[in-house]
Structure 1
Amino acid sequence: MDNRNRAMIVVFLLCATAETAAEGRSLDVCASCHFDATCNDLPYGSGKMCNCKYGFIGNGRTFCVDKDECQLRGICGPYSTCHNTRGSYYCTCLAGYSPSNNKDTFIPNDGTYCQDVDECRITGQCGEGGQCRNLNGSFSCSCQLGYEIHDGVEPFNPHRDKASCKLVDCGQPASGEDTVLLSVTGTSYGSVAVFDCDEGFVWRSGDRSSVCGADGRWRRLSMVCEEISCEEPVFKAHANMLWDGTSHMGSVVLYQCEDGYHTRSRRNSSVCAESGLWEDVDLWCEEISCGPPLTLPHTNLLWDGSGAPGSVLLYECVDGFYQEAGNNMSTCLLSGQWGEVSVQCKAKCGPAPFLPKSEVVWHNMSVVIHRCVSGHHSWRGGNVSVCGSSGEWQTATLRCIEIKPPVSHLCVLKEKCLRWRAEKYEEDTEDYKVTYVGSRDFQRSFHDRRKQFVSSKADQLELCLNLLPVTNYSISITAVSSRFTASITTSTSLPVPPAPAVYYREFETPVPTLRLRRSANTLDPISLYQVFVLPVEGIVMFDCSSPASSNPKIKSSAEYITAQFDVRHVGTEMNFTVGDGLDYGGFFNAPLENGRNYYIMLRAVSQWKSALKSSCVLWAEVRGTSYVLRVSSLSAAALIGLVAFFMMCGYSSSWFFKRTCHS
């Protein structure tokens, strides 16, 4: 309580005492207190007094007025605003600040103060590509590396300025001298373009790649390509060289052995390679010699040892054998090979007995020992054949059966079904676990891993799997009882894309606007849409697989592509105006001519590597504005043309707007 208030109370007390003494009677002080005052006892029981309540000032009896605490400078602390109320007050923080008690208002008697708000905690405060910097009571934005300021300067405040950050775009990279572009990962900051030397040139120095910089420009390509040239070709002994004297890449030299010499090499030519060197030729011209002759079973060789062309050798059967048939003389030929000999020497009992699935491990004129070949085992019977006194073999009774794997002849049918043979000796039920894992070259994040279980007594099984299209699969089948696993790989093909969902319309304007609704199950990463314009003149024929013309500026009645859209850049719905004079996907959307009629076709294309599938649908008919073409007034030639058009696409006469062409 300040001195002024104290003085007023003292005066009030003196007046009250004097009044009581003057009247000579007791005064009820509490009854005279103001509405905004309280009655309090005086010390030592000397009486009562009226005091204004907290937040009010006055004499306590005749007046108590509100005290404006906000007149006290700095009562709420820094970065705040004071708000006076009847008998009290409250504080709020300025914009960019918040109370430390996390409430909307406060009175600083509990230690609450205004603290800075970190606006940068809000995700996306500065928009895409922006980075936020907190300031005392505010914030500012600047662009990250790879982004540049748009419609303003840095730093900026998105709540106050129109500025924003946009992705740096270097555009398509340009090839350097004698170079070609191999691949490019994009046109934004950090994208990499890879180059190679043009055909007939070889890389000598410099970097083969260029990177999109933060300044929106591709780094200057430093690679140096030199034209490929080889020196004179290598001379080969005893060979003639056929060469036209050129030594650029792809030039060919032919070699031919001289008379009396021959070569066993399959390749007699050398090519100037990309390395600037002639490809090595494994050519050796050797003097013709037939070399040592073949040794035939059960024969002796009569030969003078000469391997020159014309030399002769004879074969005779050894003791215990006789020549049953065939030729027993061979001559050295000019090709350097001995002539064919077909002599057959037969033992007294004839050839060794043949047992199925077996081989001979020992054989003389009278005894043959057999054993089962690899992959088979003996089932029962003896393994010795003996030549009897009658000149006939007493054949062994050995029986060999195949050692068969539990799963064999595994194959894939129609890209989705597995077929295998279950090899069992008894009719037992076998449990199989089928596991298949799929991946895609064009979608590295894709991963399809599933498994199925099958129980069967059958000797041959077939199981169809729900394999996804354009996917490489590794499939394994495990026979659980034997723990035997067989594996196979397969790749599913590219399917025909679903027909585009369009709303067919007829127009009488040269700039019609069409609407497309994209199918949700389209293979977006490898698909696109193409818009065809077909001038209606005479018989109209359209092949969905036709490449068409990409240059509408050449006046022709043939169809042409007027726009192309990557499916990944098309939303759920899209409006497209035919003939607006703009470029779409590298194709010029040429204006339609007045007075001509057109069919507008839409083709959906799915393509991966060399595979391409497409489907087409009639989107609209545009009639010339100088005259109106009605179905009821079509000429005979126009009717024939319309029928030919629908027959090419597979339309029926009553549902020609609902059918589609596929390729």
Structure 2
Amino acid sequence: LLPLLLLLGLARGATGAPGADGSDVCASCHKHATCKQGEGKKMCICNYGFVGNGRTQCIDKNECQLGDTVVCGNHTSCHNTLGGFYCICLEGYRATNHNKTFIPNDGTFCADIDECEVSGLCRHGGQCVNTHGSFECYCMDGYLPKNGPVPFHPTRDATSCAEIDCGPPPDVPDGYILGNYTSRLGSQVHYACREGFFSGPEDMVSSCTAQGTWEPPKLNCQEVSCGRPPEVPHAMLVGNPSSRLGSEAQYVCQEGFESPGGRITSVCTEKGTWTDSTVTCTEIIIEINNVSVFNNTCVRWQINAGRINPKITYVINIKGQQLDPVESDHKETLTFTTDSQTPEVCLDLYPGTNYTVKISTAPPRRSMPATVGIWTAVKQTIGNISIFNETCLKWRSMKTADTQEMYLFHIQGQRCYQKEFAQEMIFNVTISSQTPEVCLDLRPGTNYSVSIQALSSEFPVVISLTTPITEPPLPEVDFSTVHGWPLPRLRLRKAKEDNGPISSYQVLVLPLVLQNSFSCASVRATSFFSNTSDADGYVAAELLAKDVKDDAMEISIGDRLYYGKYYNAPLKTGSDYCIILRITSEWNKVRRCSCAVWAQVKGSSVTLQQMAGVGLGSVVAVIILAFLSSSAV
């Protein structure tokens, strides 16, 4: 019926005819209608928000009947009013025009409210997580929920977040806890076995877990028992030591062997094993040096003293070839015992015979034999030959003082430590003296056989001569100046054995202020643990020459490793240091050293980026300490 009435009203209004009572059309418009005139006609039209014929009916139009989402958008509530409507955002959302109500004709919509912007919303230990139109609470790391569910809402749930506390850690049989600890999440307890017990290092930690309990410790302390001490080559065990912790086994070297490094011991450790001794038994090899002939038939020599028992038995093998082929050769072996460090023996030799005399030791001693030639010819004009100033010879000539004599020298040099080395020199000199002297141009650290034959004699005189070593070549280093840490890896190059055998390479750490007063031959620098402070410096590493590769190797200062018996300790932050490389040569009781400054460390506090930018100056042959002493015997 309503639609029919509306159509009738519209039809009448459209005609513009006066009302039934003859009045004007505009006077008959509904109160929610407006009179409009067009094309000479007047009509009543319902206002916006109303529907009807404009005269008898203008009914409110319900804009919300199509649905909240269609009219107002997502997360909204639509509210109809007389002749209009308005929108309200649901709880947890707010209008983008920041008003409580809106009509979405200007693009306004409802945006989610981030409730988590309010601190403390989820109470102590709680963590807020925003959701669409709301939020949820969870417990932070290190906290556990109590008295309610998770996730929870503070307005409806009684859930509280309590800090995780694992309580006291579990006990371990025969073990104890090291240091202090806390019972919070992630805290660790370090265990150790009591004295006399041991366990693996990977099982000594227990952690407080997120469940509020301690991880079960895996530590299994077992009583230490090292068993029988290990065998040491060429050594005998002294006594019958126990296998308990701290027991010490002592050894003595067998006959013919010695331990130059000191006592040989092994200690039962807390791991149930015996320590390896750093000292070993080495075979005693006697070096026979500086063999010389005097009084024509007597021989004198020297041995390496200091490590040998007082009495040694020598074997003298004599082989002589006479000039006259009718006569038989002279062969003889004799022995004698002496405790002298410079033994000598006079031989019963035939005149006119060329002898080779070989000197060695009798078992159980081993030696490096030495050989000397003796010519007992009647016409021999060279006698009482001796060595002075290490490389000079003097002898007595049978010639008169004003008679010139030509002498032919044939010199051959060899080195037992450098098999590829060989030197040979042949020359002659003319001297008019009854006590000639000649100084030879010989290489250091070399065993020489020197043959001298006078032009007037038929056979030469042969003597052995050993030259002392001199300073080894200066170390070849790439000098570095470093401000702060870490230090660059220092490159160690192997030195040539030109002046004698290279024994070892030592890395010394000195306070920088001592650089100008340091003596290369100084023995004051000891191991890191031998000093109460490092004010005098210390030896950080020692490498035997046999352990250094031919090309090169690298060493990092402060890497906390042992090199030989020396500990490579970390450098102290903020201190200035001088790193020195010392090359040592030892031979025939003589010790020589050469040193070079390897690096200077300025201990200023710098960042890692600054340290990466520190320039390294490569100086390939070396910034040498000009003040360093050259040798020490």
One fold, TM greater than 0.5?
no
**Structure having the higher Rg:** 2
Of structures 1 and 2, the one scoring higher in RCO (CA 8 A, sep 6+) is 2
TM-score by length of 2: 0.44
TM-score by length of 1: 0.42
